[in-house]
Every structure is written in structure tokens, then in C-alpha cells.
């Protein structure tokens, strides 16, 4: 059964998104003394991450466990790297400790990088008696073709039903990507889609109506909630 998403339209996108994340962080830390958050890539999250890095946000960075929902297969200093974007906007300015960050190694063989990342998540899950690693919050974006993370229409990773992290070849980009799969994404307690003001309203409506041709519409956490934060 699909959980009905909560839709927030806001003219204060970065501030409201940052506040949402902070609230989720405080809740998770209060309940489990940790906050497992997966960062999304692309451009939309930039002002949100910058806002979180601003002084005055009393986030206990050492209790955060930051993962990445997807990564381009490039080195961490590459302009296309999602890690680099997060480091520039938040990780470095907020001096987030290394131990709180689990980076996808885009610079090595994609299959090895995906397996390595999945093994690291699986190890933590096992240590906590979880069948699959359960994020407190996964941030997701929405591509113009309805992709989310690096789950692009027509690509193999869409059909993955057991692996948690895979290497996914994306023909339209002629490039490999590392990405969470639906089994991992749908294990989350909360999903937050971050969608900027420029995104096609018709596309958003199609996803919200559940058009399964669009990968973003297949995000459906079995025991979690979905919120859409849409810039107005």
C-alpha cells in the first residue's frame, strides 16, 4: 500500500528544508543517539546544505552517519562529484568529522565501489540486528526524466530487488553511476524529496499520482513516510 506523501510548497525552500532535516535529526538522536541521513546530489540541495552549515544549527555532527544516495563514477575532487558538492557546501564549512561520513568511492571500479559500500552498510545493519540498513532520512532529488538517485528510466538498477547498492550504467549519459536501489530506499523511516522551483509541475504531478514509468514514483517505503518539499 502506497504511503500518501506529505507535500509542502514553500517560498523559503532552503530554510524550510534545513529546518525539516534538523527536526528529523533531533528526533532520531533523541530516540537512538544517532541520525542516519543519506544526501542527494545534483544542484538542488546546495542551498539546503549551506543553510545546515550556517552557525546556530546545534547539530551534533559526531552523532550523524552521512551516506550518499548516489554518486557519479568520478574522483571526489571532480566538479561532477556529489561528495565534492556536499564537502564544499556543508562537510568542510561545518567541520563534520570524517567518522560521520561514508563516501562512495567513485574513483574506483564501479562494481567494486558498489559492493564495498553495500558491505559497509550491511555490516552496520548486522551490528544493529537489522535485516537491511535503515536510514532515518533519505534525501532524494527529481530528474527531468523522473529519475531519482541514479535510478534512471530504462536502466537495470530499477529491477534490482535484493542488492542495496549497485553500479548502474546509464546509456543516456554513457556513464556508470553508483546508486541506492529501491530495496534500500524503501527501508527508510523518512524520505524527503527536495524539488526546486524550476522543476516541471506536470512531472511532479505525474510522480505524485504514482506513474510507475517514472522511477521517483516507485519510492514507497514499507514502514516510512514520504515528504515533498517543493520550491514555490
Please give the residue ranges that form the binding site for ligand 6PG (CB under 6 A): 40-44, 70, 82, 141-143, 147-150
Q: Give least dist CB 45 to ligand 6PG, A.
A: 7
Nearer to ligand 6PG, 41 or 224 (CB): 41
Nearer to ligand 6PG, 131 or 202 (CB): 202
Task: From 41, 43, 57, select the one nearest 13 (Cα to Cα).
Answer: 43
Q: Give least dist CB 208 to ligand 6PG, A.
A: 16
Nearer to ligand 6PG, 43 or 60 (CB): 43
β-strand 6-10 against 64-68: which pairing, if any?
unpaired
Residue 39, helix vs strand vs coil: strand
- Which residue of the chain is nearest ligand 6PG when measured via CB? 141
Contact 224, 189 (CB under 8 A): yes
> What crossing angle do the helices spanning 13-32 and 46-53 adopt, rounded to 10°?
60
Nearer to ligand 6PG, 12 or 43 (CB): 43
Q: Give least dist CB 170 to ligand 6PG, A.
A: 10
Task: From 35, 87, 67, select the one nearest 185 (Cα to Cα).
Answer: 67
Q: Give least dist CB 201 to ligand 6PG, A.
A: 14
Nearer to ligand 6PG, 29 or 158 (CB): 158
Q: Give least dist CB 39 to ligand 6PG, A.
A: 9
- What's the CA gap between 176 and 170, in Å, rounded? 6
Contacts of 39 (CB under 8 A, 6+ apart): 45, 49, 66, 67, 68, 69, 82, 86, 139
**Tell me, what DSSP letter sits at residue 230?**
E
Amino acid at each position: 500500500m502506497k504511503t500518501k506523501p506529505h507535500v509542502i510548497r514553500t517560498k523559503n525552500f532552503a530554510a524550510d528544508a534545513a529546518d525539516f532535516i534538523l527536526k528529523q535529526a533531533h528526533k532520531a538522536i533523541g530516540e537512538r543517539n544517532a541520525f542516519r541521513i543519506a544526501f542527494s546530489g545534483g544542484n538542488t540541495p546546495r542551498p539546503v546544505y549551506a543553510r545546515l552549515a550556517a552557525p546556530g544549527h546545534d547539530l551534533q555532527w559526531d552523532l550523524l552517519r552521512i551516506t550518499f544516495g548516489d554518486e557519479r563514477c568520478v574522483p571526489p575532487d571532480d566538479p561532477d562529484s556529489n561528495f565534492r558538492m556536499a564537502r564544499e557546501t556543508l562537510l568542510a564549512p561545518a567541520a563534520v568529522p570524517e567518522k560521520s561520513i561514508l563516501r562512495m568511492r567513485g574513483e574506483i571500479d564501479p562494481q567494486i565501489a558498489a559492493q564495498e559500500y553495500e558491505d559497509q552498510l550491511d555490516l552496520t545493519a548486522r551490528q544493529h540486528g537489522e535485516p537491511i540498513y535503515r536510514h532515518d532520512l533519505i534525501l532524494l532529488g527529481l530528474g527531468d526524466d523522473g529519475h531519482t538517485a541514479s535510478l534512471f528510466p530504462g536502466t537495470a538498477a530499477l529491477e534490482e530487488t535484493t542488492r542495496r547498492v549497485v553500479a548502474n550504467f546509464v546509456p543516456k549519459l554513457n556513464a556508470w553511476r553508483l546508486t541506492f536501489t529501491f530495496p534500500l530506499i524503501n527501508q527508510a523511516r523518512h524520505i524527503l524529496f527536495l524539488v526546486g522551483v524550476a522543476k516541471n509541475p506536470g512531472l511532479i504531478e505525474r510522480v505524485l499520482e504514482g506513474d510507475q514509468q517514472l522511477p521517483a514514483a516507485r519510492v514507497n517505503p514499507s514502514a516510512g513516510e514520504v515528504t515533498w518539499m517543493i520550491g514555490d
